Amino acid sequence: MCRELHRCLGYRIEPDFDDEYLHEEGTPYLKLKQPGKRVTGEYQLGLQQGNIDGRLRSDKLVFFSFEGMDEHHEVNGAGTLTLHGDHLTFVLMYHQGDDFTFECERRR
């Protein structure tokens, strides 16, 4: 992931939400940066938005914490990013709440 992730400026998001919800606040996205073994980024998925701060665990796996908003409620938790070629599985696990899994495809 280290060589690939720093080139991933954005991912198209494809979760179990309907298209209307996903685009309610604009185009859904996941943007990532990789300075060294650290991975930071931001996301917008429907009414969910936030920032992530994580660390590489292997070439294809990142563990991270996140904080943000979901429909005007502050949220935080942990998550994972798993790289499969040009596809990325993005998992958000809300603290004492729901888990969301998003399948993403790298934009070129």
Dist CA 21 CA 28 (whole Å)? 10
Residue with tokens 């991270």: 64
Query: Total structural domains in the chain?
Result: 1
Burial letters 36-51, b for 16+ CB under 10 A, else e: eeebebebbbbebbbe
Model confidence at 6, pLDDT cuts 50, 70, 90, reads: very low
Q: Token pair of 87, please?
A: 């596809």
Quick one: which H or E segment has residue 3?
helix 2-5
Dist CA 2 CA 27 (whole Å)? 26
Query: End-to-end distance of the chain based on CA atoms, in angstroms?
Result: 17
For residue 9, the domain's CATH number is: 2.40.128
Domain carrying residue 8: 2-106
Model confidence at 38, pLDDT cuts 50, 70, 90, reads: very high
Q: What is the pTM of this model?
A: 0.80
Task: List pLDDT tens digits, range 57-86.
Answer: 998 999 999 999 999 999 999 999 999 888
